[in-house]
Amino acid sequence: MKYLIKQNNFLTIADMPVELRPRERMKNEGKETLSDEELVSILIGSGGKDNNVTNVARNVITVLDKNNNVSYDNLLSVKGLGPAKASLICAALEIGRRRTTNKKRQILEPVDAFNIIRHYSTRKQEQFIVLSLNSAYEVLSVDVASIGTVNECLIHPREVFSPAISHNAVAVILTHNHPSGNLNASENDFKVTQRMRSCGEIVGIKVIDHLIFDEEDFHSMNDNHELKSLEDFF
């Protein structure tokens, strides 16, 4: 499944061919095919004269990525988003949280993790996302630990393990997107992974995999035996 990314920042919903508009695509192709920007665009409905709905939606996504528990005030800070639309998005996020909090998703193989975080592949910058797991490898939280540039993401152990510790996790899966589409692990990816594994041993939280992903596929360090001590997992 491939997410459709709109490249023209100045294209309004009204300018799009009918079949490419978010609401029509949801109806005809299913909600899973829409990018995060398209989903938020449906909630917003329309933008302003100088800031179309696509740009507003993109700015909302940036706020969501930077705030694990986004507030009404966070949303209200987005240019082009007034009280009514900020309230609507805030309400949608809260109802979603209430409906999914008690439905833990179990990670049995790397593709299960990929399906949870693959929507981050539409981001233009590298994002480092951490899945915190319990002893049954059920997902306790999904946290954006760091946002970098188009080809690099700096990450500190405290950003990785702080959410995991707060959720009493026993394991984490590290993931980050490669906007370039190259799924091969870089030398820096290996260094970061080894550093996180070493820190995880100190705090008693295992790093069981590191996924590098784009819109269509992923690279699992564990599946490719690049984490030899983790070959017994999955």
Distance CA 234, CA 230 (A): 9
Q: How many domains does the chain have?
A: 2
The token duo for 127 is: 């994002």
Per residue of the chain (234 residues), give pLDDT as tens.
Answer: 332 334 444 456 666 777 778 888 888 888 877 888 888 888 888 766 667 888 888 888 888 887 767 888 888 888 888 899 899 998 988 887 776 655 578 899 999 999 888 888 888 788 899 999 999 999 999 998 888 654 555 788 999 999 999 999 999 999 999 888 789 888 888 989 999 999 999 999 999 999 999 888 999 999 988 876 444 443
Dihedral angle, C-alpha 98, 142, 64, 150, nearest 10 °: -160
- The answer to pTM > 0.75 is no
Same domain (yes/no): 179, 126: yes
Quote the domain boundaries for residue 197. 110-230
Query: How is residue 30 annotated by DSSP?
Result: -
Closest CA to 119 of 181, 45, 174, 37: 37
Distance CA 183, CA 39 (A): 26
Distance CA 61, CA 58 (A): 5
pLDDT per position as a tens digit, 188-214: 889 899 999 999 999 999 999 999 998
In a domain, 30, yes or no: yes
The token duo for 158 is: 């405290």
What backbone phi and psi angles, to 5 degrees, belong to 81? -110, 110
In a domain, 9, yes or no: no
Task: Look at residues 76, 100, 124 and tell me which one is the last residue of a structural domain.
Answer: 100
CA atoms within 13 A on the CB side of 102: 3
Same domain (yes/no): 23, 79: yes
In a domain, 105, yes or no: no
Same domain (yes/no): 94, 121: no
State the CATH number of the domain containing residue 116.
3.40.140.10
In a domain, 3, yes or no: no
- State the CB neighbour count (10 A cutoff) for residue 192: 21
The token duo for 62 is: 């940036």
The answer to whether the beta carbons of residues 193 and 227 sit under 8 Å apart is yes
In a domain, 195, yes or no: yes
